[in-house]
């Protein structure tokens, strides 16, 4: 690990002052940043430890929504009674990810800001446009079983590794940030970005900006939802493909459909126009298949990951069936029903 | 240039932190890049906590921080200033083994033993969480601890036995 200077502010304004100049990283749970520092992928000159900031609470919003503090841990969030009751999709997605130890340390802000697990990003001996702009992409033409099939670019085919973020995308969350130029709210769909030519930029945070909270709207999908995660082993592995699905069904017809994919793109993948394919339909295999094709339109494999295209479509169909039937995927009994 | 000295990243600069480790309050000078794992093993001589992968993937370094299990390899010690740490050395009550330690012996829940301190601390965390009720739950909630000898079946039996005894109380 490189040597760095260390600051531990106790209020948000002070943190932003400390965090603004140059090569600075905010430290929360450390489960991703400390690992990347050990690998020499991250080499901050200064680390601003934000764990003493008052951002640990989960609180009701006046409009009926829920505010998840940026420093609330993933475990405390997944097991918060209000989250379990009102946003079971989010609880399920969090519990599908990482391990209990990691979820006890990892925070909500850190979860959405975690970086790709692309092998080439981690291996400083190989080219990577995300780690070293302009050096090339080792994954294109390399070993790319875990890589993106949607929204990738000639510069980068990395995926976003989070499960939590997939549920947040489906739930239309909002990311609250603060920074040198003040506060702003970023709709979740606009928070992460596709790699384009600037693969090093995971999201649309400006330099020095800090996530303070994630807000969930007062729109609850408690009856018809599922988080279906497919991976090489049943626990403690990143998704090859995951699906967060949420439906509203009235008089036997779908009136609202949300589908977000993980493990397939540089950001949680949602296509709102494709979701509308389901509106007015009765839940059926054919309707789900049509939606699956619409959501994955333009999917492109890179060799090792060609299988993900078919897998994603089947996973969408299966997840929509689970959601429609009101039988969400268990995160302990891993049999896919 | 007034802040230049403060920001020189190559300068070795200890920060004194307080930790309660296995019930003893300690004031410890640490460099900011020292992980809690290295502090426990190298500075405090508590070598029960193991360094397996050093990347949060194996769970051998699991300790309890303020009652919750975490990977000490991914935690900067300086960031845990003021916390209460329990390592495997702190689980037993003097000469009386922790119920999990006894259950691991009774069920032959290890071969080489390298992962065992992490398994024990993780299982203690699991019990405190109060979420596991079934064998499937235990298997999933112990998935952050790898055992390359493959003692999983007996580890699960041991944890389940203590869980059932605690629940029956």
Element (H, E) at A211: strand A210-216
State the Cα–Cα distance between residues A222 and A280, nearest whole angstrom: 20
State the Cα–Cα distance between residues A70 and A267, nearest whole angstrom: 19
pLDDT tens digits, one per residue of A151-169: 999 999 999 999 999 999 9
Q: What is the pLDDT of residue A335?
A: 86
pLDDT tens digits, one per residue of A15-43: 999 988 778 999 999 999 999 999 999 99
Q: How confident is the model at residue B6 (pLDDT cuts 50, 70, 90)?
A: very low
Backbone angles phi, psi at A286, to 5 degrees: -65, -40
State the Cα–Cα distance between residues A121 and B112, nearest whole angstrom: 34
pLDDT tens digits, one per residue of B140-169: 999 999 999 999 999 999 999 999 999 887
pLDDT > 70 fraction of chain A, expressed in percent and rounded? 100
Residues B17-21, mean pLDDT to the nearest whole number: 98
**Which positions in chain A touch B69 (Cβ < 8 Å)?**
100-101, 104
Asked whether residue B72 carries a pLDDT value surpassing 80, the answer given is yes
Residues B39-55, mean pLDDT to the nearest whole number: 98
Q: Mind listing the domains of chain A with CATH numbers?
A: 5-52 (3.30.43.10), 225-325 (3.30.390.50)
Q: Which residues of A sit within 8 Å Cβ distance of B?
A: 1-6, 8, 27, 29-31, 34-35, 37-38, 45-47, 49, 51, 75, 79, 98-102, 104-105, 235-236, 331-333
Where is pLDDT greater, at A336 or A218? A218
State the Cα–Cα distance between residues B137 and B126, nearest whole angstrom: 10
Q: What is the ipTM of this complex?
A: 0.96
Q: What is the pLDDT of residue B2?
A: 34
Do the domains spanning B15-90 and B99-168 agree at the CATH topology level? no
Q: Which residues of A321-332 are buried (b: 16+ CB within 10 A; e: fewer)?
A: bbbbeeebbebb
Q: What is the pLDDT of residue A329?
A: 97
Judged by CB atoms closer than 8 Å, whether chains meet at A49 and B125 is answered as no
pLDDT tens digits, one per residue of A194-209: 999 999 999 999 999 9
Q: What is the pLDDT of residue A178?
A: 97
Q: Which of B33, B35, B125 sits opposite A4 (nearest CB)?
A: B33
Judged by CB atoms closer than 8 Å, whether chains meet at B144 and A100 is answered as yes
List the single residue in B with minimal CA-CA distance to A98.
Answer: B144
Q: Which of A51, A102, A332 sits opposite B144 (nearest CB)?
A: A102
Domain spans of chain B, in order of start: 15-90, 99-168
Element (H, E) at A229: strand A225-230
Q: What is the pLDDT of residue B9?
A: 44
Q: How confident is the model at residue B12 (pLDDT cuts 50, 70, 90)?
A: low
Specify whether the CB–CB gap between A36 and A61 falls below 8 A.
Answer: no
List the single residue in A with minimal CA-CA distance to B11.
Answer: A3
Distance of residue B84 Cα from the nearest chain A Cα, in angstroms:
15
The class of domain B15-90 in CATH terms is alpha beta
| Distant-in-sequence, close-in-space partners of A4: CB < 8 Å, separation ≥ 6 | A44, A45, A46, A47, B9, B32, B33
Domain B99-168, CATH: 1.10.150.120
Q: What is the pLDDT of residue B5?
A: 38
Adjacent-strand bridge partners of A24: A46
pLDDT tens digits, one per residue of A102-119: 999 999 999 999 999 999
């Amino acid at each position: 690990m490189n040597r760095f200077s260390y600051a531990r502010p106790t209020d948000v304004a002070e943190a932003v002052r400390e965090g603004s100049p140059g090569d600075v990283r905010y430290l929360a749970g450390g489960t991703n940043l400390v690992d990347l520092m050990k690998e020499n992928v991250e080499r901050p000159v200064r680390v601003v430890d934000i764990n003493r900031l008052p951002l640990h609470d989960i609180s009701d919003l006046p409009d009926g929504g829920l505010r998840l503090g940026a420093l609330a841990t993933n475990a405390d969030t997944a097991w918060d009674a209000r989250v379990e009751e009102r946003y079971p999709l989010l609880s399920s997605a969090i519990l599908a990810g990482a391990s209990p130890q990691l979820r006890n340390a990892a925070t909500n802000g850190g979860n959405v800001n975690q970086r790709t697990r692309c092998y080439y990003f981690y291996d400083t001996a190989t080219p990577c446009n995300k780690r070293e702009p302009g050096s090339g992409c080792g994954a294109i033409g390399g070993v790319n079983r875990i890589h993106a099939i949607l929204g990738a670019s000639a510069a980068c085919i990395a995926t976003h590794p989070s499960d939590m973020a997939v549920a947040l995308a489906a739930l239309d969350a909002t990311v609250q940030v603060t920074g040198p130029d003040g506060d702003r709210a970023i709709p979740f769909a606009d928070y992460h970005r596709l790699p384009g030519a600037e693969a090093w930029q995971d999201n649309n945070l400006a330099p020095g900006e800090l996530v303070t909270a994630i807000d969930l709207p007062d729109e609850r999908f408690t009856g018809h939802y599922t988080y279906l995660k497919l991976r090489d082993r049943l626990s403690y592995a990143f998704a090859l493909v995951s699906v967060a699905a949420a439906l509203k069904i009235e008089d036997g017809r779908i009136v609202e459909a949300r589908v977000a994919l993980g493990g397939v793109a540089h950001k949680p993948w949602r296509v709102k126009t494709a979701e509308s394919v389901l509106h007015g339909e009765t839940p059926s295999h054919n309707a789900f298949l049509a939606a699956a094709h619409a959501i994955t339109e333009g999917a492109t494999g890179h060799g090792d990951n060609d299988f993900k295209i078919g897998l994603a479509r089947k996973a969408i169909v299966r997840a929509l069936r689970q959601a429609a039937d009101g039988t969400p995927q268990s995160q302990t009994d891993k049999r896919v029903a | 240039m007034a802040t230049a000295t403060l920001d020189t990243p190559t300068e070795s600069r200890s920060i004194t932190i307080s930790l309660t480790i296995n019930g003893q309050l300690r004031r410890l000078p640490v460099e900011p890049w020292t992980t809690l794992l290295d502090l426990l093993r190298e500075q405090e001589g508590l070598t029960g906590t193991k360094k397996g992968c050093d990347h949060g993937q194996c769970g051998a370094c699991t300790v309890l921080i303020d009652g919750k299990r975490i990977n000490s390899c991914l935690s900067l010690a300086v960031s845990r200033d003021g916390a209460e740490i329990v390592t495997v050395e702190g689980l037993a009550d003097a000469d009386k083994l922790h119920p999990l330690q006894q259950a691991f012996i009774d069920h032959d829940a290890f071969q080489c033993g390298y992962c065992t301190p992490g398994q024990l601390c993780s299982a203690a965390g699991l019990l405190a969480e109060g979420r596991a009720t079934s064998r499937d739950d235990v298997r999933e909630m112990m998935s952050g601890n790898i055992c390359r000898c493959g003692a999983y079946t007996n580890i699960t039996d041991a944890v389940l036995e203590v869980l059932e005894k605690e629940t029956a109380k």
